[in-house]
Structure 1
Amino acid sequence: MTSDNGRRKDPGWKYNYLANVEDKNAVTCLFCNKVTKGGIHRAKQHQVGNFKNSTKCLKCPDHVREELAQYMAEKKSEKENYDKMPDFDDIDNMIEIEDVDDDEVEEYISRLFYLAGIPVNVARLNEFKWAIEAIRQYGPNMKPPSYHELRVPILKKEVAYTNELLSDHKQDWKKYGCSIMSDGWTSRTNRTLINFLVNCPSRTMFVKSINASSFMKTEEKTFEVLDTLVEQIREANVVQVVSDNGSNYVLAGKLLEAKRPNLYWTPCAAHCIDLILEDIGKIPRIAKTLEMAIQLTGYIYNHGGVLNMMREYTKQRELVRAGKTRFYTSYLTIKSIYKQKHTLRAMFTSEEWVRSRWAKEANAKRIVETILMPSFWNTIVYILKVMGPLVRVLRLVDNERKPAMGYIYEAMDRAKEAIIKAFNENEERYSNIFKIIDERWECQLHRPLHAAGHLLNPEYFYFDDNIATNHEITAGLYACIQRLVPTAEIQDKIMVELPIYKKAEGLFGIELAKRSRKTRAPEQWNFLPPKKKKSDFYDLSYIITHTYFFNITEWWSLYGSSTPNLQQLAIRILSLTCSACGCERNWSVFEQRDVIDPISLDDIDESNEWLLGEMGVEPSMNVEDELVFDDDDDGLTWGVVARAVGVGEPRKNTRFQTKSRASSKASTSQPNIEEEDADFDETEEENVDGYKSGSSGFESDGNLSEDSDDDL
């Protein structure tokens, strides 16, 4: 029974035996005759005792226990040492790797990225650098985690670590209050999903995602979901619930406010502004130009040869193709086309194009007609003047790093002022635009929280005497006091403390507080390292940790102690986000949704310049007067070229032609977009120089710059 070499070496066989030679798992104890299933190892555990999966043998002598325990400990130590040693087959390779230089080490690391399809942005993470440093400090005997270890035990540890981090995050909810962010969307499998996150100034935390396919349009069920989430986060911590302004959310928000009298439901400001842009895009002349621009980009990107030709002319710069989910991507399309205006004109009038096989196609001829059409470019400039300020507001409210509640009210006013200046105060040029803005602002976007945030922002309150006497703003603050402060006693204390803030008494009036009321955002860039080239991106983690932003909640924390109740309310209001789109952006990464984030890393906070009054427009000239060649003494202009090819004047169409064109539109990939008479004066529309950063125009965020297209 014990003739083989392994049994002779293992002392366990001296005190156990096999009752059945054919069954080597059933081992019988010599002392108590107990049969253990699991081989000799389990039998030794039975005799030594104190093992979780075995009962202790009460008849085993102590010296046997000691002998077996010592043997088992030695075997365990040998196994651990063996596991740390490399396989003999890998010794040569390991020695070779240990002797490699820096370049070869980088090759091994980069090869892992390439073969495993790891995004190179992972190298920017601090966690990647920490992992490399941990391996270096451990030494050459580092054993990589196995597939199973990564999937189960290590993952469980990481979940516990993450929960620990989130517990600290939850403490901020009590201090600052928080916003519940809700965003519903449809996945590629046609499931309607709702993602819920909780936002506060420190960070945004994912809570859960639910499949709402069966009740997305039902306001009662939507209300139940929101109400349950408020209960989970705790009503005392929640200041507002932010969602899009679909009809189901509007009604659910009203039900929620009725049941929860100390919080607000707020429509997503980014969604509202996007709807404003969409309404503006429905103006006939703008709609036609946008459609022409989309046809232009579509034609280029649907023909590989044309695309390659364009890239040669634009020096590998791309045009933005409009997205399907958010309308502001159409603005980005228009902007990118305008930036390449000269190169597109040069390409479609070049000898290379004329000789190409595409130039003879009917669709291509319509594209060339569009490129040479003066009113096309004039309307593009009109669109940029109208939409540019609104896109800036959109970027402000869509910024997760800096709460926008204290800025949105002023931002909307500044955007309208910028539009007025862009058209030299000619009301006829923008009155229809303001009507669209005001309708959305009044019925959807303008909320008491926005007004209260404006009054409590020292950056504006102490520099504008009209704020304190403005009925709309004051009423918004009072509404917030009554709703967000649960007890009448605290409400009364806030009303007593409010004049101290308004009169700048106490700590509000000291020189330190006065100097820090207003900190200009452009100063932040002094803290950034220089770029090696203009196309480089800044590391977002560097920006967050090394850049100083004026934080109005910190201002209240530093100087609001003389009004403690008002201080707490101000911090809770000014810490709020205005958008639920951070939720959307996080999940669009995984679902590959057609969403373009307009905030690029190296101009991520330039939306603040709208709040600094830096928007202006210089006098412009008509596109027809632009010279084809800058050094042309004969004065050949693009207007002359347009008239020469027959696109200088709009074509007149019969009703029959219009009807025929409409009926054939579904079967034609490139419908013929006819030119219409301008509904506004074009003589002062087209001039790139009217948008330079020095003149505080659209160029100031790189919108029309030839050197900056990071957000394209």
Structure 2
Amino acid sequence: MLREIGDGPGGGALSMEISLDEEYGIPGTRSTAVDETLRAQPKSKGPMDRIVTLEARQSTLNSAYKQEERKEVCRKIGRFFFSGALSFNIVNDPFWLPMVEGIAAYGVGFKHPSMHELRTWILKEEVGDINTMMEEHKKAWAEYGCTIMSDGWTDGKNRVLINFLVNSPAGTWFLKSIDASDSIENGTLLFKYLDDVVKEVGEEHVIQVITDNASNYKNAGVKLMEKRKKLWWTSCAAHCIDLMLEDISKMKVFEDTIRLAKQVVKFIYGHTWVLALMRSFTKNKEIIRPAITWFATSYLTLQSIYKQKQPFQAMFSSREWHNGPFVQHNKGIRAHSTILYDVNFWSRVAFCIKSVIPLVSVLREVDSEERPAMGFIYELMDVAK
């Protein structure tokens, strides 16, 4: 900035003064008018501005590219699931995420394990890790004591298998499984199986043995207590309640009501047109279908039917039903008559539900792993009574 400064009266000289705000951007001597004028002028972009703009554009392009890249990877993972008909729930497995993160951390060039590696050194190392974990459980068995639990079930090949598990404050440990197809009805052999497991765990560590309440298991449990004086045999609470529900189901009013309900449900789910019609009236709400075992499901079926009483009545009274292909069908006529014209059906359904739902509620609690100790079960039974 050039400014004329006086050197005395009548004399003058030209001098150059550099204001601080122009050179360094520090507020100085520039007037407000000049500031307003400069702000009104369009700012020219320097080299740094262009660099920042290019970096922002590159970041946006990289983000879009990553999104497309992730999409392709996800499709390849999905294709693997679909080709092997794998359950989608596998992604919730606790070992899924560590596997994916491990592959990502390795980076480009990772070579997946071969089938030979999976069944040799990888399997051996995992077995070693499991044995190490088992040693920790054994320490808890020795310190706190433990409970041996047997769980019998039938697989898809109709083999009767018995799983043996050991429970302690450290958690539940799967010990082993045996094929008892030829000996499940033999109380003597069942006693031998239980006795061998007690010996394997250590009699001094076992507080109780829990089995089903069937007569063969009951006899084996009594023999076990006679031989092993320091432990107790206890029947499974869930199995006991299920047997109670089975006995209740044999009473005529329960038996007839459950039979009629099963006929209706079997008819609906056995014909796709009727099932689609039901879903349109119930707003896609399903009916719990009775299973072969676990008598509680029969009562849960009654409960779900009762909740859909009005949609069921509306469906069998609708124009769609009367114009449909099953209006003259024998099973359709019976289901239609049960839902609309059986004066006792709905009142008996309500009676059955009211009678057994307290027991079913107890069964739900004792059959889960979220509830502790026997005292809680006694309290639930008192409330149910």
Partner of 1:48: none
Q: State yes or no: 1:390 paired with 2:379.
A: no
* 2:310 is aligned with 1:342: yes
Shift of 1:273: 0.2
- Shift of the 324–243 alpha-carbon distance from structure 1 to 2, 3 Å rule, reads same
The alpha-carbon deviation at position 226 of structure 1 amounts to 0.6
What is the aligned partner in structure 2 of residue 608 from structure 1? none
In the alignment, the residues of structure 2 paired with residue 211 and residue 99 of structure 1 have an alpha-carbon distance, to the nearest angstrom, of 51
Q: Any stretches of 5+ residues in structure 2 without a counterpart? A: 1-64
Please state how far the C-alpha of 1:105 moved relative to its aligned partner. 2.4
% of aligned pairs identical?
Answer: 46
SS of aligned partner of 1:209: strand
Name the SS of the counterpart of 2:375 in structure 1. Answer: coil
What is residue 259 of structure 2 aligned with on the other side? 291
Cross-structure match for 1:120: 88
Q: State the alpha-carbon separation in 1 of the partners of residues 147 and 71 from structure 2.
A: 48
Deviation, structure 1 residue 100:
4.5
Provide the C-alpha distance between the structure 2 equivalents of 1:294 and 1:202, rounded to a whole number of angstroms: 43
Higher RCO, 1 vs 2 (CA within 8 Å, ≥6 residues apart): 1
The residue that corresponds to 2:279 in the other structure is 311
User: In the superposition, relative to structure 1, how do residues 243 and 166 fare at CA in structure 2: closer, same or farther (>3 Å)?
Assistant: same
- SS of match in other structure, 1:360: coil
Partner of 1:104: 72
**Aligned counterparts of 2:282 and 2:138: Cα–Cα separation in 1:** 49
Give the letter aligned to residue 333 of structure 1: T
Q: Compute the displacement of 1:207 (Å).
A: 1.3
Equivalent in 187, 200, 215 of residue 155 of structure 2: 187
SS at match of 1:305: helix
Aligned to 2:122: 154
Cα distance in 1 for partners of 2:99, 2:256 equals 54
Q: Which runs of 4+ in 1 moved over 6 A?
A: none
Q: How does 1:536-555 map to 2 (within 5 A)?
A: none
Shift of 1:221: 1.6
The Cα of 1:223 is off from its aligned counterpart by: 1.0
* Distance of aligned partners of 1:330 and 1:187 in 2 relative to their CA distance in 1, 3 Å threshold: same
Corresponding residue number in structure 2 for 1:411: 380
Offset from partner CA, 1:525-554 (integer Å, 9 cap, x none): xxxxxxxxxxxxxxxxxxxxxxxxxxxxxx
Larger Cα-atom Rg: 2
The change in CA–CA distance for 1:190 and 1:120 in structure 2 (over 3 A counts) is closer
Query: What whole-Å deviation, never above 9, does each CA across 1:587-625 have from its counterpart, x for those lacking one?
Result: xxxxxxxxxxxxxxxxxxxxxxxxxxxxxxxxxxxxxxx
Counterpart of 2:362, as a letter, is V
Deviation at 1:138, TM superposition (A): 0.9
How big is the shift at 1:282? 1.2
Q: Secondary structure at the residue paired with 1:412?
A: helix
Q: Which residue of 2 aligns with 1:424?
A: none
SS state at 2:344 partner: helix
d(CA) in 2 for partners of 1:184, 1:387: 25
Matched, 1:363 2:315: no
Match of 1:320 in 2: 288
8 Å contact from structure 1 (residues 201, 403) kept in 2: no
What is the Cα deviation at residue 380 of structure 1? 1.3
Inter-partner Cα distance in structure 2 for 1:327 and 1:137: 50
Q: Which residue of 2 aligns with 1:684?
A: none
| Alignment match of 2:113 (pick from 145, 154, 164) | 145
Per-residue Cα deviation, 1:60-80 (whole angstroms, up to 9, x for no partner): xxxxxxxxxxxxxxxxxxxxx
Question: For residues 337 and 99 of structure 1, do their structure 2 counterparts lie closer, same or farther at Cα, with a shift above 3 Å needed?
Answer: closer
Any idea what the Cα deviations from partners look like across 1:69-102, whole Å, max 9, x if unmatched? Answer: xxxxxxxxxxxxxxxxxxxxxxxxxxxx999533
What amino acid maps onto 1:177 in structure 2? G
Q: For residue 384 of structure 1, what is the amino acid of its counterpart? A: I
Structure (1 or 2) with the greater strand fraction = 2
Equivalent residue, structure 1, for 2:225: 257
1:351 corresponds, among 301, 311, 319, to 319
Q: How does 1:62-81 map to 2 (within 5 A)?
A: none
Aligned residues: 320
1:184–1:162 CA distance, 2 compared to 1 (3 A): same
Distance 2:239 2:184 in 1: 18
Which amino acid in 2 is paired with 1:168? E
- Go from structure 1 to structure 2 and tell me whether the alpha carbon gap of 1:284 and 1:295 turns closer, same or farther (over 3 Å shift): same
Cα deviation for residue 309 of structure 1 reads: 1.1
8 Å CA contact 1:181, 1:242 repeated in 2: yes
Q: Deviations over 1:158-197 (max 9, x none)?
A: 1111222222222222333221111223333333222211
Q: Which one-letter code corresponds to 2:380 in the other structure?
A: A
Where does structure 1 lack aligned partners over 5 or more consecutive residues?
1-96, 417-712
- The verdict on how the C-alpha distance between 1:212 and 1:106 changes in structure 2, with shifts beyond 3 A counting, is same
> What is the one-letter code of the residue matched to 1:192?
V
Mapped contact 1:177–1:238 kept (Cα < 8 A): yes
Go from structure 1 to structure 2 and tell me whether the alpha carbon gap of 1:99 and 1:350 turns closer, same or farther (over 3 Å shift): closer
The aligned counterpart of 1:196 is 164
Tell me, in whole angstroms, the C-alpha distance in 2 between the residues paired with 1:384 and 1:181. Answer: 31
Q: What's the CA shift for 1:353? A: 0.2
Q: Secondary structure at the match of 1:266?
A: strand
Task: Give 1:403's aligned amino acid.
Answer: P
Task: Describe the shift of the 1:397–1:176 C-alpha distance in structure 2 as closer, same or farther (beyond 3 A).
Answer: farther
Report matched runs for 1:415-426 at 5 Å.
Answer: 415-416=384-385
Alpha-carbon separation, structure 2, partners of 1:353 and 1:164 = 64
Matched to 1:179, the amino acid is T
Of residues 379, 399, 408 in structure 1, which corresponds to 2:368? 399
Correspondence for 2:137? 169
Counterpart amino acid of 2:274? V
Aligned to 1:267: 235
1:379 to 2:348 alignment = yes
**For 1:176 and 1:327, how far apart are their aligned partners in 2?**
36
1:650-703 deviations in Å (ceiling 9; x for gaps): xxxxxxxxxxxxxxxxxxxxxxxxxxxxxxxxxxxxxxxxxxxxxxxxxxxxxx
Partner Cα distance (1:176, 1:106) in 2: 47
Asked if residue 224 in structure 1 is aligned to residue 224 in structure 2, the reply is no
- Residue type of the alignment partner of 2:357: G
Tell me the distance in 2 between the aligned counterparts of 1:359 and 1:369: 11
**SS of alignment partner, residue 126 of structure 1:** coil
What's the secondary structure of 1:213's corresponding residue? coil
1:282 maps onto 2:250 in alignment: yes
Amino acid at match of 2:205: N
TM-score scaled by length of structure 2: 0.79
Seen in structure 2, the aligned counterparts of structure 1 residues 178 and 117 have a Cα distance that, compared at 3 Å, is: same
Paired residue type of 2:359: L
Task: After TM superposition, give the deviation of residue 203 of structure 1 in Å.
Answer: 2.4
* Equivalent-residue separation in structure 1 for 2:154 and 2:356 (angstroms): 28
User: In the aligned structure 2, how far is the partner of 1:320 from the partner of 1:336?
Assistant: 6
Aligned alpha-carbon RMSD (Å)? 1.8
Take 2:182 and 2:96, find their aligned partners in 1: how far apart are those partners? Answer: 42
Query: For the residues of structure 2 that align with 1:175 and 1:379, how far apart are their CA atoms?
Result: 53
Structure 2 CA distance for aligned equivalents of residues 105 and 325 of structure 1: 43
The alignment partner of 1:180 has SS state of: strand
8 Å CA contact 1:201–1:402 kept in 2: the answer is no
